[in-house]
Structure 1
C-alpha cells in the first residue's frame, strides 16, 4: 500500500458521549480530520453513541449494548427478552455483581462484526477498549490493530481508592475497576499503541507493562476554528470556569471549591461555573454547603458547542484543578479561546499548558491554597491575563490541533499495515490520491 491510497478505517469506541469524558470528543474530531485527509472512516460504537460531524467519509455503525447505565435509570435490570446471547448475559451478570462490563462485552461484539466483514478495512483503531475480543491480530480481526490509550485507568482506580472513606467503599471501587486486570493483560500484547502525551506514555509503561518501543505519542488538540477569541463576547467580572465531574476525585473539583472560598475573601465577585453534572451529595456537595457557596457556584450540562465556547470566552479565568490528566482537552480549548488559564501540574497538563508565568499560572495538584493564590493574582491583574491568554492561544495553534493529530495518527496506521503479515488481496476500489 502506498502513501497515495486512502485508508479504510474502522474506529472502535465502546463509549462515545461527546459531552461527558474525552473519548467521544476524540472520536468525533479525529474521524472528521481523517476524512478531510481523504480517508474513509467507519466509527463502530455503543451507547451512548458517538455524535459525528456530517461530512463525506465519516459514518456511524451502531453496535448496541444493553445500555445498563443510561439515564434516567442507571444500573437497570433489562427485561428477559432483551437478552440476546451469552455476551448480553455476561454484561448483566457483571453489572449485578458490581463490575463494569462494557470494555469486555463491546470487544466481543466488535470481534464478531469485524470477522463478518473481513476485507472491509485496512486498519482497525481501538479507542481504549482494551478488551479480550480484540486479541488475535489480523488473522482474527481481518486487519492490523492500532490502539489509543489516553491514560491507564489504573490511575483513576488508584485515586478513587485513596479517596474511599471506608473498607466497604474500597471493596466497591476494587470490584468496579476489575476490568483493569483485563486491560493490563491485553495492553501487553498490543503491537502498536498511540497515546496523547509523554506523561501517559510513562504511565502506560509503568502501570500496564507495555514496552516503550511499542508506544507512540500523538498529541491531540483543540478545535481551533470553534475555540477562538471573540472580542464581541463580554467578559463577566469574577467568572471562573472549569469542566469537571462533581465527585470524580481525579478531577480535583473539591480543591477548587475550597480555593474559591478563600478567593472570595479578597475578591467577593468571584464565582464558579462548572461544566458538568452537580452531585446531590458527596464531598463536593458537602464542601459547597460548608463554605456557603451555593449562590457562587453554578453547574451547567447539555449545552451546545457554541454555548460552551461563549461560556469560556466570557470567563476571566479558565481553571483545570485536576490531580491527573492524560492530556487535558479543557486546558487546550480554553487556551485556544485566549482565556487565561490556571492549571495544576498533574500528569500531562504542563505538556499542554506550558511554562508557569508564560502561557498559564501553574500550581501543584491538590493544593487549594496555591490554587486560590493564583486565582486572586489573575483576577487582580488584567494585563497579566491578557498576556497569558494571547501566549496560550499561540501555543495551541503551534502544537495542538486535530489536523496535526490526524496526520500523525495516519502515519502510524501505515506503519502498522506495513508491519502486519501479508493478507489476501481486498476487494478492488477506485484509485485516488490523498493529501496525507
Structure 2
C-alpha cells in the first residue's frame, strides 16, 4: 500500500505539532512495510526529494504565506504526479490551498482527512472559505478527529458524524533520545528538579501570558522551552514582572528537552483557546510520567489530561486557578506522583504510536475494501 500525505509544512521547516504527528505516523506505517510520501511547500533551498527516516519527503517551493496559509503553485502539479502512484490520499486540515488541490486534481483515489482543528482565529476568512471547506469535506471518504472531545464540541464535525472516526494522536518514546547523565546534571545545576515545564511553540493561543501572570509574586519555578511569534512579548512581560523564577530557554536540542522532561516536577500547559486542538507536548508530559496542568477548552487537552486523575484541569484564562493548581502540586508531592503514574498508564493504554498507526492502517484497509467492493458492483 502507498500513502500520500499533504500538508502546508513539514520537517525540518517546522517542528510543530502536526508535522510531528505526520512524521510519527509516516514512520510507523513505513515500518509496517508500506510506502509513504509526504508532500509540502518548503522555504528551504535547494529542493529535492529525500528520505526522512524510512519515508520520502517531497518539498515544493513555497511562494507566499498569507494569513497563516502557505501558497505554492508547484504543489498542484506534484500532487497529481504523486497521487497517481498512491493507493490512499491523506490530507491534514486546515489548509485552504489543500482543498483546491484536491478538488482540481479530480483524483478518484480513496481520501482521508485528519481534522486537526477548527478554523478559529480568521473569522472573516472563514466566512469566505466556508463554501470551499464544505465542498472539500463533503468529497473526502473519511474524516478523523484526534479526540472524542473534539468530535463533541466542533460544529463543523457534527455535519460529518457518519464518516468521522476518532483516532488519538500517539508518540513513540523510542524516537526520543535517552539523555546522558552529564546532560541531566547540567540542567539540574541550572534549573533544579522542582520546576514546572512548558514545551511548545510560543503562540497566541498557548496562554503563556496567563502562566506568567499566575507566578507573578511567587517563588514557583517555571521553565519555558520553545520559540514563536510571542517570544519577545513574553520576555518583556517577564522583565516587567521581575520574574527571576521563570526561565525562557528558547529552542533546545532533543536531548536537552528529554533531560528537562526527566527532571521537571510537573508539566504545565495553559492553552486557553480552541486553536489548541490536542497538544502533543502535553502528551509528552504523560509519556514521561509527569502530573499535568491544563485548561478546559473542550478539545483533546482534556482527553489527555483527566482532572484529579492524571493532573489538574483549570478554567481557561484564569491565572488564580492556575496558580492554585501549581501550588497544590508543589505542596503535595505524593498526590503529584500518583497523578504522574496514572498519566503514564494512560499514555501506554491510549497514546502510543503503535496503537495510532494500527488504527490508521485499519482505516486505510477499510477504505480500500469499500472502494474495491464498489468497483466490483459497478462491473457486475
TM bin, normalised by shorter chain, reads 0.7 to 0.9
Q: Show the counterpart of 1:353.
A: 305
From 242, 257, 261, give the equivalent of 1:308.
257
The Cα of 1:209 is off from its aligned counterpart by 6.1
Describe how 1:221-300 pairs up with structure 2 within 5 A.
Answer: 221-226=170-175, 233=184, 236-248=192-204, 250-262=205-217, 264=218, 268=219, 270-277=221-228, 279=230, 282=233, 284-285=234-235, 287-293=237-243, 295-300=244-249
Give yes or no for contact 2:147–2:303 (8 Å, CA) kept in 1: yes
Q: 1:226 to 1:280 in 2, by over 3 A?
A: closer
Describe how 1:31-430 pairs up with structure 2 within 5 A.
Answer: 31-47=26-42, 54-56=52-54, 58-66=55-63, 68=64, 95=66, 99-102=67-70, 105-106=71-72, 109-117=74-82, 119-128=84-93, 129-130=95-96, 131-136=98-103, 140-153=106-119, 155-157=120-122, 174=124, 179=129, 182-204=132-154, 206-207=155-156, 210-226=159-175, 233=184, 236-248=192-204, 250-262=205-217, 264=218, 268=219, 270-277=221-228, 279=230, 282=233, 284-285=234-235, 287-293=237-243, 295-323=244-272, 324=274, 325-346=276-297, 347-354=299-306, 356-420=307-371, 422=375
Give yes or no for contact 1:241–1:272 (8 Å, CA) kept in 2: yes
For the aligned residues, what is the CA RMSD? 3.2
- The structure in which a higher percent of residues are helix is 2
- For each residue in 1:87-120, what CA deviation from the matched residue of structure 2 results, as whole angstroms up to 9, or x when unmatched? xxxxxxxx4xxx4542xx45x6444224335641
Structure 1: gaps spanning 5 or more residues: 1-6, 70-94, 159-173, 424-436
The Cα of 1:292 is off from its aligned counterpart by 1.8
From 16, 23, 44, give the equivalent of 2:18.
23
TM-score if structure 2 supplies the norm length?
Answer: 0.82
Query: Which whole-Å CA distance do the structure 2 matches of 1:213 and 1:319 have between them?
Result: 36
Q: Show the counterpart of 1:167.
A: none
Q: Show the counterpart of 1:74.
A: none
Query: Which whole-Å CA distance do the structure 1 matches of 2:51 and 2:338 have between them?
Result: 34
Query: Which whole-Å CA distance do the structure 1 matches of 2:5 and 2:251 have between them?
Result: 25
The Cα of 1:247 is off from its aligned counterpart by 4.5
Give yes or no for contact 2:269–2:282 (8 Å, CA) kept in 1: yes
Q: 1:375 to 1:359 in 2, by over 3 A?
A: same
Q: 1:117 to 1:53 in 2, by over 3 A?
A: closer
Please state whether the residue corresponding to 2:325 is helix, strand or coil. Answer: helix
TM-score if structure 1 supplies the norm length?
Answer: 0.73
- The structure in which a higher percent of residues are strand is 2
The Cα of 1:373 is off from its aligned counterpart by 0.7
**Segment of structure 1 superposing worse, 219-228 or 387-396:** 219-228
